[in-house]
Amino acid sequence: MPARLSVDGTLVTLDEPCPGTAYFAADRAIIALKVNGELKDLATDLTTLDGAEVEPVRIDSPDGLNILRHSATHVLAQAVQQIYPDANLGIGPFIEDGFYYDFGNIDPVTPEMLKELEKRMKRIVKENQRFVRREITEEEARQEEASQPYKLELITTKGHDADGASVEVGHGGLTMYDNVNRHGDVVWTDLCRGPHLPSTKFIGNGFALTRASAAYWKGDQNNDHLQRIYGTAWPSKEELDAYQTRIAEAQRRDHRRLGTELDLFSFPDEIGSGLPVFHPKGGIIRMEMENYSRQRHIEAGYDFVNTPHITKGQLFQTSGHLSWYKDGMFPAMRVDEDQDYYLKPMNCPMHSLIYKARGRSYRDLPLRLFEFGTVYRYEKSGVIHGLTRARGFTQDDAHIYTTREQMREELSSLLTFVLSLLKDYGLNDFYLELSTKDPKKFIGDDDLWEEATRTLEEVALSSGLELVPDPEGAAFYGPKISVQARDAIGRTWQMSTIQLDFNLPERFGLEYTAPDGSRQRPVMIHRALFGSIERFLGVLVEHYAGAFPAWLAPVQVRLVPVAETFNDYCEDIARRLREQHIRAEVDTSDDRFGKKIRNAAKEKIPFTLIAGGDDVDAGAVSFRFRDGEQHNGVAIDEAIAHIVDVVRRRANEPEAEKF
């Protein structure tokens, strides 16, 4: 039966010999094929694919971008071996927005070397070298890669390394990719699964090398020390430029840099990696975030609880966490002679004990328990990233216990509550992700999992938001919905998670008395709204680029006297603002007037009030906003009323802070 080619949704039957490169020669955007869902090189002979359904892969599709980036890694490795012929080649996978390749037996990579490598890559691209696939036996591969120790190891392990990369070997055996020049000579070769672009020319000028770092073979510190070179590749120079602009803006907004510049938080070496301390200004922001969240939770009918930071290990054996997550927990402490204690990595087992502390009736449900609970997780040092990936953090954690009949309505109202509260902090662009059961890591009954997953899916779809599948991404005890939020520059952050759990109530023996007097199991809903206070603050720093809306800003008003003579006038206005619970301060430093104004702007203070002789005579101030817009001669009462109104409205957009 001939292959069937799907072109723009239309199936075309192919009867004559036809490689994809010939069929799609007129459309350079098509760079590979998908045969029955499996990616293949464009040079594949379509008529040899008996009965297969074939789709073209465009370079700007997700699969096409991955192929482009993986092909760029081969060009990078070829350029490296032009400088270091004896370089040992590691792995070279595509990653999000780019690629990297690991090298042994080369000098430490400098910025100058990156520039030289990029020049050589551009020459290779212009040479229009074809990527030619060939199958070889394991013995042949060993002979060809005899001088490459890492490739020899990959041949033995069938291409799987510690980071999960499996880009080196084909499913049915081993494959090599040769780079062939216009004269038909093989100029470079690498062990690789593929597929690749038809030739290097398809890489174009939309690539760049970005940085280098140290690495270890297979990610193991006991293995060889390597040099890892990173790059990015896009279908066009314009897309590369746009990406580099986004990266530059992201760096400008990096919460770690802004946290230092704005004196919000730090990570002292004396305390340890991933354990932040909050300075007074950061503490104010955190307090405001927590206070408003508490207010909203009270209005929504939550009960506040508190639990300790350590517990006997038996609690996590009962919950199942010790079996599944022990490697992510800090080592046990021996507090009693015969009992190990653990720093808690989550709050749910303790909340279940609170539920179990007394008898429950259906009239008590839904029971919504809420805690700002600090937890500790032993994250590897390589993944720690400021506030957004820490070892100690405080979850705004809630566990809701409902009847089966209440479950769907509770989930629906919970999702509405979550989205509403996130919007109050200035995030407005969302989609949802549904994480389903990992067949290798779950507890409980399949039917209950199916019911839980179906219920979450129905609730998610009824919200009207886009729903994206996350296969096998659930925790071991139940499926979840996660709220994904896009920030001011379009990046996606995972925010709130809502998990439906039939299993922990069973493991803890939780019950309630039903209307007919029978004892029934409640359903448990796990919910972290911010995820953690620390992480959410890091996201907000980057979303607002440090220019927090007035209600969250650590200093809301800075008063700047034109001369020392007017200090008392400014202090009196600051006192009146503080009486209205506005965070106001007077700059009485020895700095010149112009520097005081610049300092207020640099510190991203929402409102700067300036007072000189004319202002004192008129009972007024000059009112200056963050963007430099200034209104002179504003009456004190009017200025105070406007500031109080903006703060109490919790306005998040800069224009909403203006007169």
**In this structure, what is the dihedral angle of CA atoms 448, 451, 455, 461, given to the nearest 10 degrees?**
130
- Determine how many CB atoms are found less than 10 A away from the CB of residue 124: 22
Say if residue 642 is exposed, middle or buried (CB neighbours under 10 Å; 0-12, 13-18, 19+): middle
Q: Which residues contact 446 (CB under 8 A, 6 or more apart)?
A: none
> Can 598 be counted among the known catalytic residues?
no
Token digits of residue 198: 């038809």
Output the CA–CA distances (angstroms, integers) from residue 485 to 477, 553, 566, 635, in the order listed. Answer: 25, 22, 46, 41
User: In 3D, which of 554, 557, 596 has the Cα closest to residue 264?
Assistant: 554
Task: Determine how many CB atoms are found less than 10 A away from the CB of residue 304.
Answer: 12
In sequence order, the 6+-apart residues with CB closer than 8 A to the CB of 577 are 557, 584, 640, 643
Q: Which of 634, 590, 581 is nearest to 608 (CA)?
A: 634
Please count the residues of the chain. Answer: 659
Separation CA 274–CA 517 (nearest Å): 50
Among 348, 396, 437, 543, which one carries the catalytic annotation?
348
Q: Is 399 a catalytic residue?
A: yes
Residue list for the binding site: 348, 399, 526
Distance, in Å, from the CA atom of 364 to the CA atom of 512, rounded to the nearest integer, reads 9
| 453 vs 439: CA distance, rounded Å | 14
Return the closest-CA partner of residue 449 out of 459, 438, 460. 438
**Residue tagged active-site, from 228, 399, 527, 543:** 399
- Residue 279, CA atoms < 13 Å, CB-side half-sphere: 12
Amino acid at 110: T
The active-site residue, picked from 102, 161, 397, 487, is 397
For the question of residue 269 being annotated catalytic, the response is no
Which pair of tokens denotes residue 105?
Answer: 């037996």
Residues 6+ apart with CB under 8 A from 279: 263, 264, 265, 266
500 to 283, 513, 545: CA distances (angstroms): 33, 21, 35
596 is annotated as an active-site residue: no
Q: Which of 129, 148, 227, 395 is an active site residue?
A: 395
Measured between alpha carbons, how far is 120 from 187 in angstroms, rounded to an integer? 14
Q: Which of 377, 391, 437, 583 is catalytic?
A: 377
Q: List the catalytic residue out of 69, 360, 526, 558.
A: 526
Main-chain dihedrals φ then ψ at residue 45, nearest 5 degrees = -75, 110
The residue from 70, 218, 391, 480 that is catalytic is 480
- Asked if 91 and 224 count as a contact pair (C-beta separation under 8 A), the reply is no
Q: Which residues are annotated as a binding site for Zn(2+)?
A: 348, 399, 526
Question: Which candidate, 476, 508, 501, places its Cα nearest to that of 401?
Answer: 501
Annotated catalytic, 520?
Answer: no
Active site residue 377: yes
Local structure of residue 657 (DSSP, 8 states): G
| Closest by CA position to 246, among listed 415, 458, 27, 96 | 96
Which tokens is 63 given?
A: 């699969």
- How many angstroms separate the CA atoms of 448 and 440, rounded? 16
* 78 labelled catalytic: no
Helix (H, G, I), strand (E, B), or coil: what is residue 536? Answer: helix
Structure tokens at 157: 């392990």
Please give the positions annotated as active site.
Answer: 348, 377, 395, 397, 399, 480, 526
